[in-house]
Amino acid sequence: MHGMTIGKKTTLGFGTVLVLLLLLNISTELGIRSIVNNANEVINGNQLDKTLAQKEVDHLMWAEQLSSFLTDDKITELTIQTDDHQCGFGKWLYGDGRLQAESLLPGLASMFKEIEKPHAELHRSAIAIKGVFKQSDPNLLTTIGGIKAAHLIWASKVKDALLNKSSGLSVETDPSKCGLGKWLGSEQATSLLTGDGEEIEGIFAAIPTSHNALHASANEINKLLVAGKFNQALDYFQTTTTPQLDSTLALLLKLEKYVQHDLDGMREANTIYVDQTVPALHEVQSLLKKIRTVTGDNIMSEDVIRVLKSI
């Protein structure tokens, strides 16, 4: 350095400054790129978190709709998505959304794989519920049982009048005014006809025929009793009243079995909801929260990015 001329020293110094400036520029460029990359990562990470949060809400609403289908008798059709690949989260899980998330954080891949099973089970539980559930009134069996008992009592009164050789009957002879006749026109009865089976329609179509004939037989017996034709009245009871009573009771028994089948379906559907839907929902929600936590722990926060930009 001592033997160098002033010109060489100046040139060397200027060159050194240029090298330092170049290194500083490279360092700054790399820093800016790093900040930009981190900023993009934050944006993508935040978007992922918002997406997963929305999927949590979506599935809670989905489960609420399923629960309403089971408990609200005004809801007659299950309209929720039962295909785990076609719901909002399913399309995301088996589409580009998942691939982008795994590209952002490869560690999420195993967690997305883990959530596939409970998510599929969640939607399969809805399919199972839809397959067995029938909307029915739990009070129907009590009502039908009461109607059967009332007609047995009715027939017993007719028989007692015959055995006692009474001068007339004191039972209801108008089929529209007895308990069954009134019930057939009630909302509770007509609600059964909203079902999708021909069996219930056949039962309701047959009941009036035998029921009307049953009450009509009482009119004929009453005429015979008034006329003092006791043997003829008893014979008419055995050949006409009893068969029509048996026919009416048999139809009511079919109705009971139909209602019981629907009630069994309701109970089975509710059991599926408790034993399958709820656990699967909890597992899906738990895994979504876990994925969101991992995402938050591994994505640089916006606050950190702002600090880096200020440096």
**Residue 53 sits in which domain range?**
6-135+276-310
- pLDDT for the residue numbered 52: 92
User: Do residues 167 and 222 make contact, with C-beta atoms less than 8 angstroms apart?
Assistant: no
**Is residue 264 located within the same domain as residue 288?**
no
Q: What is the pLDDT of residue 42?
A: 60
102 lies in some domain: yes
| CA atoms of 206 and 217, how far apart (whole Å) | 17
Q: Does residue 111 sit in the same domain as residue 91?
A: yes
155 lies in the same domain as 239: yes
Residues 62 and 163 in one domain: no
The verdict on 176 and 223 lying in the same domain is yes
Q: Same domain, yes or no, for 21 and 49?
A: yes
* Local confidence pLDDT in tens for the 311 residues of the chain: 555 565 555 554 555 555 555 555 544 444 444 444 444 556 566 888 898 999 999 999 999 999 999 999 888 889 999 999 999 999 999 999 999 999 989 999 999 999 999 999 999 999 999 999 988 888 999 999 999 999 999 999 999 999 999 999 999 999 999 999 999 999 999 888 876 678 889 999 999 999 999 999 999 999 999 999 999 999 999 999 999 999 999 999 999 999 999 999 999 999 999 999 999 999 999 999 999 999 888 774 444 334 334 44
In a domain, 159, yes or no: yes
Q: Are residues 15 and 129 in the same domain?
A: yes
Instruction: Provide, for the chain, the percentages of residues in helix, strand and coil under a 3-state DSSP scheme, each rounded to the nearest 5.
Output: 80, 0, 20
In this predicted structure, what is the pLDDT of residue 44? 61
Residue 290 falls inside a structural domain: yes
CB atoms within 10 A of CB 300: 15
CA distance 29 to 141: 81
Candidates 240, 124, 251; CA nearest to 184 is: 251
Please tell me the distance from the alpha carbon of residue 162 to that of residue 132, in angstroms, as a whole number: 49
* pLDDT, position 305: 38
Predicted TM-score (pTM) of this structure: 0.74
Q: Is 89 left (phi over 0), alpha (psi -120 to 50) or beta?
A: alpha
3-state DSSP assignment of residue 76: coil
Residues 23 and 120 in one domain: yes
The pLDDT of residue 134 is 87
Are 109 and 91 in a shared domain? yes
Which CATH number characterizes residue 214's domain?
1.20.120
Q: What is the pLDDT of residue 304?
A: 38
Does 1 map to a domain?
no
Contact 251, 203 (CB under 8 A): yes
Q: Are residues 29 and 91 in the same domain?
A: yes
Same domain, 114 and 156: no
Q: What is the pLDDT of residue 231?
A: 95
Domain count within the chain = 2
**Domain match, 164 and 252 both:** yes
In a domain, 152, yes or no: yes
